[in-house]
Each structure stands twice: as structure tokens, then as C-alpha cells.
Amino acid sequence: MTIGTSIQKAAEALRSDQLVAIPTETVYGLAGNALSEETVVKIFSVKNRPFFDPLIVHLGHIEQLSEFTRSVPELAYDLANTFWPGPMTLLLPKKEIIPDLVTAGNERVAVRIPQHPLTQKLLQSINFPLAAPSANPFGYISPTTAQHVADQLGSQLLYILDGGACQVGLESTIIGLENEELVIYRKGGLPVEQLRHFSDKIRIMEHSSSNPKSPGQLKSHYAPKIPLMLGDIREMYPQHKGKKIGLISFFEDFADLDIQKHFRLSPQKDMKQAAKQLFSSMRLLDNESLDVILAEVLPEKGLGRAINDRLRRAAAH
Ligand code: TXA
Ligand code: MG
């Protein structure tokens, strides 16, 4: 396995039906030719992902939408023109050319144009779209650096395209357009507040663990191996006193508590910075020998909604 910045090497590997890890602004993706069933099967197998959980298709240009999806509503083009490239995924009726394997039999395909410059160049240099789930084993924390990918999937990949640390740090917001309504299937890097003036009907689906329409809604996900408890730190602390505690807080330093290892997501109370730090903090704590991770609930607004969503799922494990 090589970690590098060669778009040519990444493109060559992809053209010969190999998988390549790619940087995006949200998280690293495990990418392969979305039009090749054989390659898509490899993605599921490397991730150990069940076939009922469909993949997002990554495009280079908005013009490609009509190649892979049919009857794109005006509202979808408005959103696409506003937020792409960026952390937004749209669910749109798929054309036949997209294998059923990619959508897990769904008649809608999830599409997005990612923002990272290396991946943009890569997408321009190949003539097929990339199916790419987050580049982590199924159910584990998503990777936000090339090293995160190498640590877990390195032995199964030829090439990891290194684009540095992901700028957003949370997966894309997944949106379905249902009549006049915007349905949010996964809260993510695009805060719902930014969608308000596109529609006055916005429905946020909370996760469900039985027969989810979008398996991104599976409750136990993004989970560290060490148990993670979510809530108010000072309320939870007394029950865990004496244990080796790891702590994830928004900005407070909790200097008076006996904590083994502490990550403040953003001492400056900056939600963007907190989002960017979240997954790597969870990973770093998971690699310490701790008994428990205590995590604080953030304000339920803006990116805080998606951060809390990821923490809740990590805690549901
Ligand atoms: O930011 C992101 O979206 C990252 C980067 C790599 O683009 N990708 C990502 O992929 O998070 P993944 O596979 O970890 O999560 C995609 C979610 C899945 O939970 C899946 O259920 C949902 O998107 N999804 C994909 N295709 C779908 C479809 N056709 N219908 C409903 N849900 C779909
Ligand atoms: Mg994922």
C-alpha cells in the first residue's frame, strides 16, 4: 500500500478496477468505478458492509446528473448549484446505467460532488463516477486523515490519495426531495438551517434500527470499541469515578475532574472546528487504554445537530 498525492496513480488504479481511498471535505472515501459491478462488490467486501446498505456516487460536474439520474426536479438543481461541490448528497431517481448493487435495489441513487481539490482533479481525469462509502470498516468511526485509512484498511488497498485532514470532518447531509418537501435522511456537514429558504417543508428523519430506508439511519454506527456515554459531564462523572476516563467536551476544560485523557473539541467554542476534530478525537481516545469515554452533548443547532447525532450513535453501541 502506498500513501501519496499522485492523481495519475490513483486514476490508473481506478481504471483497472482497483479501489483507491480518496480525500473529500467530509471524510475519506473508499472509491471504485460505480459503473462496474465487479468493483462495487470489492467495496462491500473490503468494508465488510452488508449489501443492503447502498453507496453514494461521486460526480465531477453538475452536467453529469442527467447521465445517471432521470427527472431531476428544479429544486434539486437549485440545491446542486448552491451547495456543490460540498457536503450535500441528493437522492434522485436512478438511470439503468447505475448498477442495482450500488443502490441496494433502491430506485433512487445518492449523488454528490465532493469539494476536495485532489478528488476534483481525479474525477475530471477519469470517465466514470466513483462509488465511495466512508473508508472505515462497517460500523466504526469514519476516517478524516489518510493515516486513519491506512491504520484499518491499509493491507487491502493499493493506493491512498493523501489530501491532508478533512476540512468539514462530518459526512454529507443526505437529502431526498419528496414533492415539495425536503427530507433529511442523515444530518451532516451542511446544516439544515441553510436549507430553510429552499423549502418551508423540511422533515428530519431520526435514526431507526429496524428496516431503515437509508441505512445511514442505523442507530449503532460510528462506534469506538470503548463504551461511550453521552450526556452532562458533571452528572455522569460520579458514576465513573475511579475508572480510567477519556473525555470529549465542547470547550470547557473540566480541570477539577480526574480524567486520563481529554479532548476539547474547540476551546474557542467554534462549531466548525468541533466538527473537524470529532472523529479523530474519538479515534485517539479509542486507542488509549481507557475504561470509558464520557462525551458532552453540544448545542442542538447548526453543525451541533450532526455532531450530536454521531455521538448518540457512538453511544448506542
Ligand atoms: O460525506 C459522505 O457522504 C462520505 C464521503 C466519502 O462522500 N460518504 C459516506 O458514505 O458517508 P457512507 O457509505 O459511509 O454513507 C452513505 C449513506 C449510507 O448510510 C447509505 O445508507 C446512504 O448514504 N445511502 C446511499 N445510497 C442511498 C440510496 N440510494 N438510498 C438511500 N440511502 C442511501
Ligand atoms: Mg460511513
pLDDT tens per residue, range 131-186:
999 999 999 999 999 999 999 999 999 999 999 999 999 999 999 999 889 999 99
Pocket lining: 54 vs ligand 1, CB cutoff 6 Å? yes
Helix (H) or strand (E) holding 279: helix 271-286
DSSP one-letter code for 227: -
Q: Is the pLDDT of residue 222 over 90?
A: no
Residue 199 alpha carbon to ligand 1 centre in Å:
23
Rounded CA gap, 264 and 256, in Å?
15
Radius of gyration of the chain (CA): 19
In this prediction, residue 209 has a pLDDT band, given cuts at 50, 70 and 90, of very low
Q: What is the mean pLDDT of residues 42-62?
A: 97
In short, whether 86's Cβ falls inside 6 Å of ligand 1 is no
Q: Is the backbone of residue 137 left (phi > 0), alpha (psi -120 to 50) or beta?
A: beta
Longest CA–CA separation in the chain, Å? 60
- In 24-73, alpha helices (H): 37-47, 65-68
- Write the pLDDT tens digit of every residue in 2-43: 999 999 999 999 999 999 999 999 999 999 999 999 999 999
Best residue for ligand 1 mutational test, from 171, 205, 218, 222 (most atoms within 8 Å of Cβ)? 171
